[in-house]
DNA sequence: CGATCCTCCATAACGTGGTTATGCATCCAG
DNA sequence: CTGGATGCATAACCACGTTATGGAGGATCG
């Protein structure tokens, strides 16, 4: 596709620098001059490749959703679909905890220049692509939900509608936690996120005991995978 | 309190103008020069009263939470606490639907100058006050949750923890809907928000039938109060 | 009752960051 | 070798947050 797959792929390097500076120094570091200096080019490169900072930010958002999709995609499917949902929730929360700035931009919580107001009024093509990636990132949740319905853990229901409920609850928790509304770091997982997951599972048709068991199974799997005390969110 | 309750209360008029311009023209309209011109003063007024745009934006956020608290506070308490929770959810969603820009700023989804990244690192006093108002705004949800527990509709549990779950689910839905991730306007209420509320109620201990009944009661009350077809979200 | 101070704000300027006009170098087509 | 197109450097323009300065008005005190 690109005629020059050189090491000097300025466009890709600008996005990489944007993501790195975003994590390191926050949204206010997303400036045309800083990015250009970081990559070693002039600010004009931003305009030849993106047309403006807004489109570059949209590209960063798209990269964030792609990264989130990769995180969620590598959560394997087990025989317990409800446990898989808990694992997806922990993974999603972990991804946001590790790169809060990136996902704040992706979900529009942080707008580095007043641009990128709400996803509603998207003008750039990269912005629409970002919204699309956002939907695709949650495909694993839809699949796990469908499997939970098929396995009789959840009541028969439209899988997209049920997954949208789970997505809402998960996204709400992560958003409020990242905003600092749930106090100090890690307690939110055990005190709110896991109980919330149990509530959702039971409300969708699971029994309390089986939901708790799936939550425990996911917690054990998480501990085994991350190797720490099982809280999950750290860095 | 204030020595001069004149009609020329510049500070209050600046906040009013900010909220109005925010609704009309979006976050990028929140500029010192525009606000000053709107009120008929110079930009210095912003600095004598607030110290900078960041503090003014925090004040707008605080005003948003106060307004939200007023909305929720005027939802009366009935004999059915679960129905009250549905009414609070509809009211919350309605408030955000009517002034999406205001609540996007309040919840930090939109940062009109790169300022106000996450609520975590708040510097201004107004910002901390805004966070506090945000917590207080949800007091009605905590009370309704406590009443649902006391009435035996919800399993015995910590009311703050259960309310935090409800808050997460509600906030997540409203946020994703406002971001456009749930497609065209009104369908989200019947297709996702109400089923989500039923799921949460059942998960917290209610029966499916009673939860559905409460959802219907809240919908009927909403229809009676707003006088339209019952979808709730419009303007 | 005048002197002094303090609050509020207008004027004007500065610094920064997004954007654009212009031109040059490189590369490909012919 | 030539013409055009692409990618980017240089430099300037402009919008916006912020600040330095000073003046007008009222309040306080001698």
Residues 109-168 of A with CB under 7 A from strand C: 112-113
Query: Of chain A residues 61-90, which have a CB less than 8 A from chain B?
Result: none
Residues 40-79 of B with CB under 7 A from strand C: 40-45, 48-49
Of A165, A173, A196, the CB nearest to B195: A165
pLDDT at B231: 47
Please tell me the distance in Å from A229's CA to the nearest CA on chain B. 23
Closest CA to A21 of A114, A124, A133, A105: A105
Asked whether the predicted pLDDT for residue A171 surpasses 60, the reply is yes
Percent of chain A exceeding pLDDT 70 equals 86
> Which nt sits closest to B8, CA to C1'?
C8
DSSP assignment letter at A193:
I
pLDDT at A188: 86
pLDDT at B30: 94
Q: What is the pTM of this model?
A: 0.89
Of B100, B167, B202, the CB nearest to A202: B202
Closest CA in chain B for residue A174: B168
Q: In whole angstroms, what is the distance from residue B42 CA to residue A174 CA?
A: 41
pLDDT at A134: 78
Average pLDDT on A105-133 reads 67
- pLDDT tens for chain B, residues 1 to 235: 433 344 469 999 999 999 999 999 989 899 999 999 999 999 999 999 999 999 999 999 999 999 999 999 999 999 999 999 999 999 999 999 999 999 989 987 766 555 555 544 556 777 777 878 878 888 999 999 999 999 999 999 999 999 999 999 999 999 888 877 787 767 889 999 999 999 999 999 999 999 999 999 999 999 999 876 544 444 4
pLDDT at B229: 55
All residues of chain A having their beta carbon less than 8 Å from the beta carbon of residue B107 are 109, 175, 179
Asked whether the predicted pLDDT for residue A66 surpasses 80, the reply is yes
Q: In whole angstroms, what is the distance from residue B162 CA to residue B160 CA?
A: 5
Tokens of residue A112, six digits: 């580095």
pLDDT at B1: 40
Average pLDDT on A121-133 reads 71
How many of the other CB atoms lie within 10 Å of CB of B224? 9
Quickly list DSSP for chain B: --S---S--HHHHHHHHHHHHHHHH-GGG--HHHHHHHHTS-THHHHHHTSSHHHHHHHHHHHHHHHHHHHHHTS---S-HHHHHHHHHHHHHHHHHHSHHHHHHHTTS--TTS----GGG--SHHHHHHHHHHHHHTHHHHHHHHHHHHTTSS-S--HHHHHHHHHHHHHHHHHHHHTTTT-STTHHIIIIIHHHHHHHHHHTT--HHHHHHHHHHHHHHHHHHH-SSS-----
For chain B, the C-alpha Rg in angstroms (whole number) is: 19
Q: In whole angstroms, what is the distance from residue B233 CA to residue B184 CA?
A: 12
Answer yes or no: do B170 and A175 touch at CB < 8 A: no
DSSP assignment letter at A152:
T
Residue A174 pLDDT level (bands cut at 50, 70, 90): very high
pLDDT at A178: 83
SS3 of A98, please?
A: helix
Question: A109: buried, middle or exposed (CB in 10 Å: 19+, 13-18, 0-12)?
Answer: buried
pLDDT at A219: 97
Asked whether the predicted pLDDT for residue A191 surpasses 70, the reply is yes
Chosen from A65, A168, A171 to mutate, greatest number of chain B CBs within 10 A: A168
Contact predicate B218/B90, CB 8 Å: yes
Query: Of chain A residues 133-152, which have a CB less than 8 A from chain B?
Result: 134-135
What's the pLDDT tens digit per position in A88-103?
A: 999 999 999 999 999 9
Answer yes or no: do B199 and A200 touch at CB < 8 A: yes
Please tell me the distance in Å from A72's CA to the nearest CA on chain B. 18
Query: Of chain A residues 25-44, which have a CB less than 8 A from chain B?
Result: 26-28, 30
Q: In whole angstroms, what is the distance from residue A18 CA to residue A60 CA?
A: 7
pLDDT at A118: 54
Answer yes or no: do A169 and B165 touch at CB < 8 A: yes
pLDDT at B187: 82
Residue A113 pLDDT level (bands cut at 50, 70, 90): low
Question: What angle, 0 to 180 degrees and rounded to 10, lies between the N-to-C axes of helices A53-73 and A139-150?
Answer: 30
Residue that the structure tokens 């107004």 belong to: B126
- A42 or B233: which leads in pLDDT: A42
Put residue B206 in one of left, alpha, beta given phi > 0 → left and psi -120 to 50 → alpha: beta
For chain A, the C-alpha Rg in angstroms (whole number) is: 19
Of A108, A134, A168, the CB nearest to B109: A108
Closest CA to B107 of B165, B62, B53, B72: B62
pLDDT at B135: 82
Of A168, A179, A202, the CB nearest to B119: A179
Closest CA in chain A for residue B27: A114
What stretches of chain A show up as alpha helix (H) in DSSP?
A: 10-25, 32-39, 44-49, 53-73, 81-98, 100-106, 125-137, 139-150, 159-178, 187-188, 194-203, 208-226
Question: B7: buried, middle or exposed (CB in 10 Å: 19+, 13-18, 0-12)?
Answer: exposed
- Calculate ∠ Cα B117-B120-B126, nearest 5°: 80
Return the half-sphere exposure (C-beta side, CA atoms, 13 A cut-off) of residue A66.
10
């Amino acid at each position: 596709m690109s005629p020059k797959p050189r090491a000097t792929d300025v466009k890709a390097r600008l996005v990489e620098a944007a993501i790195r500076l975003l994590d390191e120094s926050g949204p206010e570091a997303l400036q045309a001059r800083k990015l250009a200096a970081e990559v070693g080019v002039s600010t004009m490169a931003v305009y030849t490749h993106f047309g403006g900072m807004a489109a570059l930010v949209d590209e960063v958002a798209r990269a964030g959703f792609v990264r989130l999709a990769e995180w969620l995609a590598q959560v394997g499917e087990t025989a317990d679909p409800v446990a898989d949902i808990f694992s997806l929730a922990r993974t999603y929360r972990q991804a946001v905890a590790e790169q809060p700035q990136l996902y704040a931009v992706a979900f529009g919580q942080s707008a580095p220049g007043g641009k990128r107001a709400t996803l509603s009024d998207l003008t750039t093509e990269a912005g629409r692509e970002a919204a699309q990636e956002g939907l695709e990132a949650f495909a694993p949740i839809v699949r796990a939900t469908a499997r939970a319905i098929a396995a009789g853990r959840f009541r028969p229901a439209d899988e997209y509608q049920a997954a949208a409920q789970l997505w809402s609850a998960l996204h709400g928790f992560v958003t409020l936690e990242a905003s600092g509304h749930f106090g100090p770091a890690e307690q939110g997982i055990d005190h709110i996120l896991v109980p919330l997951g149990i509530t959702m599972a039971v409300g969708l048709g699971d029994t309390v005991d089986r939901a708790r068991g799936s939550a425990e199974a996911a917690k054990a799997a998480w501990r085994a995978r991350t190797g720490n005390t099982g809280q999950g969110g750290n860095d």
